[in-house]
Amino acid sequence: MTDQSGEDEGKQEQPRGRWPERLAVVVGTVIAVASFLYMAWWRGLDLYLALPGALLAGVLTMVGLAVAAQLWRGRRVEQAGLTPTGPQVGFEQLTEAVGHVNERTNEHVATINKRLYDLEQAVFKNNGG
């Protein structure tokens, strides 16, 4: 089904899109280009020396903003540290969070069932049942 603008209704609402990650890539790319131009032209470094520094600045910006986006969304850091391949940050999986919500929901439903059973017993006991 389409709306007046001709777009599909299902495509209009995308819950919690990936805009923070995309923004991190855009900002990191801008930082990398700006760093390269600064080091190559204004400081007069050789292009082969300016390129790795600019790429490092861009990548560090992207990683920092991507981690910040995950923390902003409420995800918890499960593990963080340095490995032989470099720094690593691991976030808790969403299935663990869903499992926690599922456990709490099951506890609440069990409590409601017990209360309903007690209420039914009290009502039917008083009505001669």
Q: Which tens digit of pLDDT belongs to each residue from 38-93?
A: 988 888 888 888 899 999 999 889 888 888 887 787 777 777 777 788 777 777 77
Mean pLDDT (whole number) for 12-16: 46
The token pair that represents 97 in the structure block: 């969070």
Mean pLDDT, the chain, integer: 79
The token pair that represents 39 in the structure block: 């080091």
Cβ-contact 90, 78 below 8 angstroms: yes
Cβ-contact 67, 77 below 8 angstroms: no
Give the model's pLDDT for residue 9.
Answer: 47
φ, ψ of residue 107 in degrees (nearest 5): -65, -45
Give the model's pLDDT for residue 96.
Answer: 64
Give the model's pLDDT for residue 13.
Answer: 41
Residue 4 has pLDDT above 70, yes or no: no
Given the structure tokens 């930082």, which residue do they identify? 31
Residue 15 has pLDDT above 60, yes or no: no
Which of 96, 102, 98, 92 minimizes the C-alpha distance to 71?
92
Measured from the Cβ of residue 4, the count of other Cβ atoms closer than 10 Å reads 5
pTM of the complete model beyond 0.75:
no
H or E stretch covering 33: helix 19-37
* Boundaries of every domain in the chain: 18-91, 93-129
Confidence of residue 16 (pLDDT cuts 50, 70, 90): low
Cβ-contact 89, 77 below 8 angstroms: yes
